[in-house]
C-alpha cells in the first residue's frame, strides 16, 4: 500500500476528485465524486449514490484510478487501487448520516479505495511518474 502525505490529503479535501473504472469490455468510465475523502493514510472513501456505471464496474471488480488536481498551483495526483464496497455497517451508516447533513441522497454503498500506487500529475517531465 502507498501512503498519503499531508499535501495529498489537503488536496483531496479541497479539490474535486474524479474516479476512473472500466467495464467488462474494457471501456473506461470517469465520474466526479463529490463525497471523496480520506479514510486513512492508505485509503479513500466515497459514497456511491447513483448506482450507475461506476457502481456496476466496482461490483464486478474493476481497479480504479482517482485523480485530483489543483489548477491554481498546477499540481495533482493519481491514486490507483482496488475497492471494497460496503452496503451496510458502521461506515455505511456514518456515510448516510453525513450525506443527509449536506443534502445528498442516501448512498447505495460506500466504496473504500485501497491505494496501491500514487502518481504525480504535476506538469512537466515528471508528469505521470509513480511516486509511491
For 83-108, the pLDDT digits (tens) are 999 999 999 999 889 888 888 888 99
Could you give the CA distance from residue 2 to residue 63 in angstroms, rounded to a whole number? Answer: 15
Q: Which pLDDT value is given to residue 100?
A: 86
Is the domain spanning 6-120 CATH 2.30.110.10? The answer is yes
Q: Which pLDDT value is given to residue 105?
A: 85
Q: Which pLDDT value is given to residue 59?
A: 96
Q: Which pLDDT value is given to residue 88?
A: 95
**Which residue numbers in the chain have pLDDT < 70?**
none
Q: Which pLDDT value is given to residue 49?
A: 87
Q: How is the chain split into domains, by residue range?
A: 6-120
Amino acid at each position: 500500500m502507498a501512503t498519503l502525505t499531508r499535501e495529498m490529503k489537503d488536496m483531496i479535501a479541497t479539490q474535486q476528485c474524479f474516479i476512473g473504472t472500466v467495464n467488462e469490455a474494457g471501456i473506461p468510465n470517469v465520474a466526479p465524486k463529490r463525497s471523496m475523502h480520506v479514510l486513512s493514510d492508505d485509503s479513500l472513501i466515497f459514497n456511491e449514490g447513483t448506482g450507475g456505471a461506476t457502481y456496476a464496474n466496482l461490483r464486478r471488480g474493476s481497479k480504479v484510478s482517482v485523480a485530483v488536481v489543483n489548477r491554481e498551483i498546477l499540481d495533482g495526483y493519481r491514486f490507483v487501487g482496488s475497492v471494497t464496497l460496503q452496503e451496510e455497517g458502521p461506515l455505511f451508516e456514518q456515510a448516510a448520516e453525513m450525506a443527509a447533513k449536506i443534502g445528498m441522497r442516501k448512498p447505495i454503498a460506500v466504496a473504500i479505495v485501497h491505494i496501491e500506487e500514487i502518481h504525480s500529475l504535476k506538469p512537466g517531465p515528471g508528469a505521470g511518474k509513480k511516486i509511491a
